[in-house]
């Protein structure tokens, strides 16, 4: 029986897929005008539960009530029409259309089938100004940064006058100032009586913004508690079912001789990186810090040959290499794990096997015939060595949790036997348990003599796993130092050097 003091009640929700019970009698109750954090390791069932709420999946058992009224949505449009909005972690936008088109897609304002551009512009401007989002309604989405696109998606959700707003990892690509801005928006919505479901793996944020916290584990509800009664350690214990005393594994790698040298690298396309020089040692984990817009990603893409450099050179074992495209980079022993897993990492419509072997496809071809036995064997190696949770090799990668998708992509690159691993935000949107596994994996790879460069927006992560950190600021190298000699304040000072 529904309780009117809740804006949302999900009671006894169960959902099964072939070979896996994703949700088992789960409950979630959200009060109006509150922020309710939903937490759990990757694979705990958080996204599946939200997809049942949003009409992407239809639950096998259980009931959903909005403001005391029983609902059952069979598609997202029904959910949105009934006041449920969701901002997904992996943004799904039409990049070649402008901001206002993306906000009003499928419900354009106008009369008798004629769209009113003027009305759409005014309505968009009104929503953006109300949320203090400084974006031109007529600018093409492709020209915006990931953080700006995320803000537009939040504006779209707000434009539905949502009673329930789901935010899935909303700060994964935001700077500290942008996070403060997001929290101001959340507080405005909370004051309006909106119930906000906040999914994040960032413990400090959860404790700062939330009123209540629900924890899930292995597809089951574990507990719901007021946020003020919780600490980071208590949340971790509820999530993983045990105490996790160390966030980072012991650093056992020992950097050796120089393996990679980047000299005076400059890429002038869309004013990018300028005169960047550094060295990377065999078995070293080199962190790259900097604010959003500091061109950290562009640095990795230029080294990998996705972006072309106009000046400078890249030396591997003292010999110049020409990474003029990604195929040549792979042949030269480089691998790049991209920042946006969904857009440029996974092939969502393909299974785990296809995603595992794609980067190494030349290695399975003999006289134009693919060796299926070897591909199956290598895919199993990826699943076993990366500890991927999946029913089978034939499971679509898009159905896996974010952490498991990331493990498959790392495994894919390891099959190419690279010497240099370029990892862009390798733990973005991944829970504390899976993060630890990926940290351990990075350290193990360094122990095997790989040279590893890690871009991360999380300074504790860089300080926890890297041997050395260099800091980018507006496309330039602003400074570097041994991890043991640096503090977060030192890194922030360098990050602001050329702004």
- 192-203 pLDDT per residue, tens: 899 999 998 788
Any domain includes 247: no
Any domain includes 250: no
| Model pLDDT for residues 450-472, shown as the tens digit of each residue | 999 999 988 888 999 999 999 99
Please give the share of the chain, as a percent, with pLDDT higher than 70: 95
Check whether residue 225 and residue 267 sit in a common domain. Answer: no
Any domain includes 248: no
Q: Residue 310 in contact with residue 284, Cβ under 8 Å?
A: no
Q: Assign 208 a pLDDT band (cuts: 50, 70, 90).
A: very high
Check whether residue 291 and residue 332 sit in a common domain. Answer: yes
Is the pLDDT score of 90 beyond 90? no
Domain around 402: 258-495
Which pLDDT belongs to residue 243?
A: 58
Check whether residue 235 and residue 283 sit in a common domain. Answer: no
Check whether residue 145 and residue 267 sit in a common domain. Answer: no
| Domains of the chain: total | 2
Check whether residue 138 and residue 23 sit in a common domain. Answer: yes
Any domain includes 253: no
> Which residue, 240, 275, 295, sits at the end of a domain?
240
Any domain includes 270: yes
Check whether residue 269 and residue 230 sit in a common domain. Answer: no
Which pLDDT belongs to residue 113?
A: 67
d(CA 118, CA 122): 6
Check whether residue 338 and residue 387 sit in a common domain. Answer: yes
Q: Assign 366 a pLDDT band (cuts: 50, 70, 90).
A: confident
Which pLDDT belongs to residue 451?
A: 97
Is the pLDDT score of 106 beyond 80? no
Check whether residue 200 and residue 281 sit in a common domain. Answer: no
Check whether residue 329 and residue 416 sit in a common domain. Answer: yes
Check whether residue 183 and residue 282 sit in a common domain. Answer: no
Average pLDDT, integer, range 328-343: 87
Any domain includes 350: yes
| Model pLDDT for residues 227-242, shown as the tens digit of each residue | 999 988 888 888 877 6
Q: Assign 108 a pLDDT band (cuts: 50, 70, 90).
A: confident
> Which residue, 182, 209, 240, sits at the end of a domain?
240
Any domain includes 48: yes
Q: Assign 44 a pLDDT band (cuts: 50, 70, 90).
A: confident
Any domain includes 245: no
d(CA 58, CA 52): 6
Is the pLDDT score of 1 beyond 60? no
Check whether residue 77 and residue 185 sit in a common domain. Answer: yes
Here the CATH number for the domain that contains residue 40 is 3.40.50.300
Check whether residue 168 and residue 263 sit in a common domain. Answer: no
């Amino acid at each position: 029986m529904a309780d009117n003091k809740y804006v949302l009640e999900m009671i006894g929700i169960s959902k099964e897929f072939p070979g896996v019970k994703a949700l088992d009698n789960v409950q979630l109750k959200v009060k109006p005008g509150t922020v309710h954090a939903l937490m759990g390791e990757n694979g705990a069932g958080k996204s599946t539960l939200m997809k049942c709420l949003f009409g992407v999946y239809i639950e096998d058992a259980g009931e959903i009530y909005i403001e005391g009224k029983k609902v059952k949505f069979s598609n997202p449009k029904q959910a949105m029409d009934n006041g449920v909005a969701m901002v997904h972690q992996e943004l799904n936008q039409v990049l070649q259309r402008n901001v206002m088109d993306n906000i009003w897609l499928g419900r354009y304002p106008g009369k008798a089938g004629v769209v009113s551009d003027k009305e759409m512009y005014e309505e968009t401007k009104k929503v953006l100004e109300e949320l203090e989002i400084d974006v031109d309604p007529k600018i093409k989405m492709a020209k915006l940064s990931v953080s700006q696109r995320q803000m537009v998606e939040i504006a779209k959700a707000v434009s539905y006058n949502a009673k329930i707003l789901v935010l899935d990892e909303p700060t994964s690509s935001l700077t500290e100032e942008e996070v403060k801005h997001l929290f101001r928006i959340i507080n405005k919505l909370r004051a309006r009586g909106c119930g906000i479901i906040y999914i994040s793996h960032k413990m400090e944020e959860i404790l700062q913004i939330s009123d209540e916290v629900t924890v899930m584990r292995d597809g089951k509800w574990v507990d719901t508690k007021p946020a003020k009664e919780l600490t980071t350690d208590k949340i971790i214990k509820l999530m993983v079912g045990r105490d996790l005393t160390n966030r980072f594994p012991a650093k056992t790698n020992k950097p050796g001789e120089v393996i990679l040298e980047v000299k005076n690298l400059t890429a002038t396309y869309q004013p990018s990186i300028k005169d960047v020089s550094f060295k990377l040692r065999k078995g070293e984990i080199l962190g790259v810090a900097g604010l959003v817009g500091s061109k950290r990603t562009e640095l990795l893409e230029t080294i990998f040959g996705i972006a072309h450099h106009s000046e400078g050179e890249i030396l591997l074992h003292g010999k110049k290499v020409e990474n003029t495209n990604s195929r040549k980079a792979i042949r030269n022993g480089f691998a790049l794990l991209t920042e946006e897993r969904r857009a440029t990492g996974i092939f969502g419509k393909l299974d785990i096997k296809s995603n595992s072997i794609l980067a190494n496809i030349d290695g399975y071809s003999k006289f134009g015939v693919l060796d299926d036995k070897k591909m199956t064997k290598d895919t199993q190696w990826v699943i076993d060595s990366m500890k991927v949770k999946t029913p089978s090799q034939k499971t679509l990668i898009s159905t896996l949790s974010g952490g498991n998708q990331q493990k498959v992509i790392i495994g894919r690159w390891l099959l190419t036997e690279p010497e240099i691993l370029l990892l862009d935000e390798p733990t973005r949107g991944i829970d504390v348990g899976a993060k630890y596994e990926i940290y351990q994996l990075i350290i193990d790879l360094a122990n095997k003599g790989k040279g590893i460069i890690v871009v991360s927006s999380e300074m504790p992560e860089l300080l926890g796993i890297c041997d050395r950190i260099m800091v980018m600021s507006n496309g330039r190298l602003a400074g570097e130092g041994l991890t043991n000699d640096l503090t977060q304040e030192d890194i922030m000072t360098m990050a602001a050097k050329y702004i």
